[in-house]
Amino acid sequence: MAPYDPATIQPTMIKTVTWLRSLGFNTTDSGDGVINVGLGMEGALPMPHVFMVVAKDSMFHDADSLWTIVKLRFAAHISGIGVECSYSPEDQKCILALYGVTDLMFG
């Protein structure tokens, strides 16, 4: 897993990213859907998100596992949460995405 510097993560996403990394997910990008959008950052997503790189042969398993974990951890907020995976044949990258979770949801 690639190292990361919590100082480079939005303050509203540090717990979320740290939690995902503690589960073994290699996080690569995150945002709370507010700060970067408010700053006018091009390409900023208007919803909380964390992207993770996963292996092609485990992409679907990783997505299912993350969804199971998320449902257990955030049952009270599940209607606003989503998990997706995508594959780009151009660069052979598999991305797992978690939407709708921010640090405010951690007790």
Q: What is the mean pLDDT of residues 8-24?
A: 95
pLDDT at 2: 79
List helix spans (H) across 2-100: 14-22, 35-38, 59-73
- Rounded Cα distance, 10 and 70, in Å: 21
- Tokens found for residue 17: 């990213």
pTM for this predicted structure: 0.92
Q: Which residue has the higher pLDDT, 74 or 42?
A: 74
Q: Are 32 and 64 in contact (CB under 8 A)?
A: no
- Tokens found for residue 62: 């990783």
Residues 6+ apart with CB under 8 A from 73: none
Q: Are 83 and 70 in contact (CB under 8 A)?
A: yes
Most confident of 3-7, 45-49, 82-86: 82-86
Q: Which residue has the higher pLDDT, 62 or 6?
A: 62
Percentage of the chain lying above the pLDDT 90 cut: 77
Digit-coded pLDDT (tens) for 20-67: 999 999 999 999 988 888 888 888 889 999 999 999 999 999 999 999
Using a 10 angstrom Cβ sphere, with 0-12 exposed, 13-18 middle and 19 or more buried, the burial of residue 43 is exposed
